Homo-oligomer: A and B are copies of this chain.
Amino acid sequence: MSLRAVLLITLQREPGTGYDVLQRFRTGLAHVWQASHQQIYRELDKMQREQLLSCQTVAQYDKPDRKVYHITSEGIAFLESWLASPLGPQPVRSPLFAKFFVWERWPADARHAELASLRNTLEERMDSYQAIESAWFSSPDSLHPHERAPWHTLLLGKRLTQTWLAWIDEVLEEDREAIS
């Protein structure tokens, strides 16, 4: 249900195609939602059939058509009711922690590769958050109240990522000491 809501949120700000949404998920919405193109296209199509979105097909000579989706009044109603109803707790599912639980069976080289690659992912994530911050929230004090809210989420995203990074470094350090 949340994918729908996120699609409505971004299309309400600005109408666009499936591909446009995919790009937004990769850039300005990177810390909010990620989905594959298949999922996006399928959901947009379904939402159009359910009247939450309307679609203008823009023909382009010698190129495949662009399908530009717009939110409808039904879509707005759906979004408002989604906003009004509480989310309910998200289940904890951490395969990495599971691996830590069987540390003794986890081969050292696989462990190091895993943690190094995770560290890398987190640093890239940090960079992308930083990029979003520079692009949209360079002077937080002069933001309108409703612009401050998304800025806060970015702040939390950064803090959580930093907490992870610090922890990984501690674990790697302890592992190095244990070997020596």
Binding site for B on A (CB under 8 A): 2, 5-6, 9, 12, 29-35, 79-80, 83-87, 89, 91-107, 110, 113-114, 117-118, 121, 145-146, 148-150, 152-153, 155-157, 159-160, 163-164, 167, 170-171, 174, 178
Given A34-B91, A105-B79, A159-B163, A110:B84 Cβ within 8 A: yes
Tell me the minimal C-beta distance from A13 to chain B in angstroms.
Answer: 8
- Number of copies of this kind of chain in the complex: 2
Given A83-B99, A98-B33, A163-B159, A152:B171 Cβ within 8 A: yes
Q: How far is the CA of A89 from the CA of B161 in the complex (A)?
A: 13
Q: In the complex the two chains form, is B100's CB within 8 Å of A149's CB? A: yes
Q: In the complex the two chains form, is A2's CB within 8 Å of B98's CB? A: yes
